[in-house]
């Protein structure tokens, strides 16, 4: 009898056959039916195969024991038990199927399963898993959403800042809340039907095209996004728990938007003659005022300016500029909107003077995007600085693009400076900072130093 350690942990070689051999942790020994020691024949003499089967069983038991120690309630424990049953079946080469589905399997598959169950070396718990004896628990939409956020999408959002994670989750939550409100209850995922999905679709259709002409219309993109988020939740949840081929009730239910709502830019002359007039922004706190001024001359998104740090503010380079790029610092991670958003923007005019005073960016608003927007937008409104009453902080970015067009800046360079996608295969570096600087100097606003 030989027992290996390290990479061969929990493997026991006995009479030429590998076993999964593991002692139940003390913390759960009183809750575990298999205590004190788990012994399971892996029915193989191939070490590589035994290791692969061990990995599946090890992870399954870790999940089960963790659920025993949490206060997640019956649903969490039932889900853990279901995952463990799947893992046990898969470790011995069987795809997990509910008992009703197993009855419909081909005779050859049924024979294999019955043979494994009849083997005296197969523990009762494993035999139960092979024959689909553990029911999939009914998980509510709200519970599935928590699983989606905490487990399924965890890797995808790891690079976001805490602020970005909250915003991401908040938007996804809107879809769940809307669905629950429309159907009248927090349904179990298994109970969602096409009729429920259509009811949600009809709800948004009434908001997008209300019969009451005086009603406030919602955009088609809103309905498209909410239904899309529910469709993604449904699809990825069932893939996560190993259920394949389940029809998605939200499939194909969407809305087409002919015209995308566009933010209004400030007129070019308005920024020059009104916004940059001495005293116009004096009532704003310094960081908010300075973010506005840098936005005017860089076209950067507010979030891109908020996340600037010292290492991305290049004041001492031959061409002073800022770098817009993601942060992989585990203590302060953040993402950029798209790959094309990663770019260098020369600092010209008032933007250069402002950044000389903020060599480490704008800490007051680094994690407070909503506060920044509310502060600036309220100030613009209260001081009659919006020509139509609809312009916002983000509008300065659109004005910047208008200025690039009016200045006859090359279309591709405009996309580079704005962080937009270039719709062709790219060659070279896209041009030098010196070139970017020369082009921006053609459209730079004159300014009174007192506004800084």
As for how many domains the chain has, the answer is 3
**Rounded Cα gap, residues 380 and 177, in angstroms:** 33
Q: Are residues 31 and 150 in the same domain?
A: no
Flag the least confident range among 127-136, 143-152, 199-208: 127-136
Q: What is the pLDDT of residue 405?
A: 95
Helix (H) or strand (E) holding 272: none
Domain end: 78, 107, 130, which one? 130
Q: Are residues 337 and 370 in the same domain?
A: yes
- Check: CB of residue 86 under 8 Å from CB of residue 242: yes
Q: Are residues 100 and 155 in the same domain?
A: no
**Rounded Cα gap, residues 113 and 105, in angstroms:** 10
> Which residue in the block uniquely carries the two structure tokens 């923007």?
345
Q: Write down the H helix ranges in 92-161.
A: 99-102, 107-118, 124-130, 141-147
Classify residue 95 by its DSSP letter: -
Rounded to 5 degrees, φ, ψ at 101 are: -70, -35
Q: Are residues 116 and 193 in the same domain?
A: no
Whether 261 is covered by a domain: the verdict is no
- Check: CB of residue 343 under 8 Å from CB of residue 322: no
Whether 249 is covered by a domain: the verdict is no
Q: Are residues 41 and 153 in the same domain?
A: no
Q: Are residues 276 and 329 in the same domain?
A: yes
Whether 257 is covered by a domain: the verdict is no
Q: Are residues 12 and 93 in the same domain?
A: yes
Residue 240 has pLDDT above 90, yes or no: no
Interval 194-211: pLDDT, tens: 999 999 999 999 999 888
**Rounded Cα gap, residues 239 and 241, in angstroms:** 6
Residue 280 has pLDDT above 90, yes or no: yes
Q: Are residues 161 and 204 in the same domain?
A: yes
Classify residue 158 by its DSSP letter: T
Q: Are residues 157 and 97 in the same domain?
A: no
Q: Are residues 283 and 400 in the same domain?
A: yes
Q: Are residues 362 and 421 in the same domain?
A: yes
Prior bond of 36 cis (ω within 30°): yes
CA 208 to mean position of chain CA atoms: 26
Q: Let me know if 308 is exposed, middle or buried by CB neighbors in 10 A (0-12, 13-18, 19+).
A: buried
Range of the domain at 378: 268-451
Q: Are residues 80 and 157 in the same domain?
A: no
Flag the least confident range among 43-57, 130-144, 310-324, 337-351: 130-144
- Check: CB of residue 230 under 8 Å from CB of residue 197: yes
Interval 242-257: pLDDT, tens: 777 889 999 999 998 7
Whether 247 is covered by a domain: the verdict is no
In this prediction the pTM is 0.72
Domain end: 240, 259, 282, which one? 240
Structure tokens at 239: 């893939």
């Amino acid at each position: 009898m030989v027992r290996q350690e390290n990479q061969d942990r929990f493997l026991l070689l006995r009479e030429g056959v590998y076993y999964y051999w593991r002692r139940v942790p003390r913390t759960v020994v009183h809750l575990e039916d298999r205590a004190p020691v788990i012994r399971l024949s892996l029915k193989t003499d191939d070490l590589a195969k035994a290791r692969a089967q061990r990995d599946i069983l090890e992870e399954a038991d870790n999940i089960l024991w963790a659920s025993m120690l949490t206060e997640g309630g019956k649903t969490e424990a039932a889900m853990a038990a279901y995952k463990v049953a799947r893992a046990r079946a898969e470790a011995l080469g069987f795809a997990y199927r509910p008992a009703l589905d197993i009855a419909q399997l081909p005779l050859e598959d049924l024979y294999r399963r019955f043979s494994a169950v009849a083997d005296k070396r197969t523990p009762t718990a494993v035999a139960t898993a092979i024959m689909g004896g553990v029911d999939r628990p009914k998980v509510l939409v709200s519970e599935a959403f928590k699983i989606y956020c905490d487990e399924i999408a965890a890797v995808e959002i790891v690079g976001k800042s805490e602020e970005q994670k909250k915003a991401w989750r908040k938007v996804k939550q809107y879809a769940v809340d809307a669905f629950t409100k429309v159907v009248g209850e927090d349904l179990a995922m298994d109970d969602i039907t096409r009729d429920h999905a259509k009811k949600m679709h009809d709800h948004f259709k009434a908001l997008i095209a209300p019969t009451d002409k005086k009603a406030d219309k919602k955009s088609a993109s809103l309905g498209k996004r909410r239904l899309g988020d529910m469709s993604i939740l449904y699809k990825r949840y069932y893939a996560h728990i190993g259920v394949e081929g389940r029809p998605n009730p939200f499939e194909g239910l969407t809305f087409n938007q002919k015209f995308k709502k566009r933010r209004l830019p400030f007129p070019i002359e308005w920024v020059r003659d009104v916004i940059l007039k001495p005293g116009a922004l004096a009532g704003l706190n310094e960081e908010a005022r300075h973010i506005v001024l840098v936005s005017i001359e860089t076209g950067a998104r507010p979030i891109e300016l908020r996340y600037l740090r010292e290492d991305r503010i290049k004041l001492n380079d031959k061409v002073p500029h800022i770098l817009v790029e993601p942060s992989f610092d585990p203590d302060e991670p953040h993402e950029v909107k798209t790959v094309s958003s990663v770019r260098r923007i020369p600092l010209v005019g008032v933007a250069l003077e402002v950044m000389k005073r903020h060599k480490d960016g704008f800490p007051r608003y680094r994690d407070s995007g909503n506060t920044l927007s509310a502060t600036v937008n309220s100030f613009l409104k209260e001081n009659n600085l919006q020509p139509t009453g609809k312009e916002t902080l983000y509008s300065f970015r659109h004005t910047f693009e208008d200025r690039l067009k009016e200045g006859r800046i090359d279309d591709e360079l405009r996309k580079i400076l704005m962080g937009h996608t270039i719709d062709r295969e790219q060659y070279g570096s896209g041009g030098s900072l010196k070139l970017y600087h020369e082009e921006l100097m053609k459209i730079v606003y004159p300014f009174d130093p007192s506004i800084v």
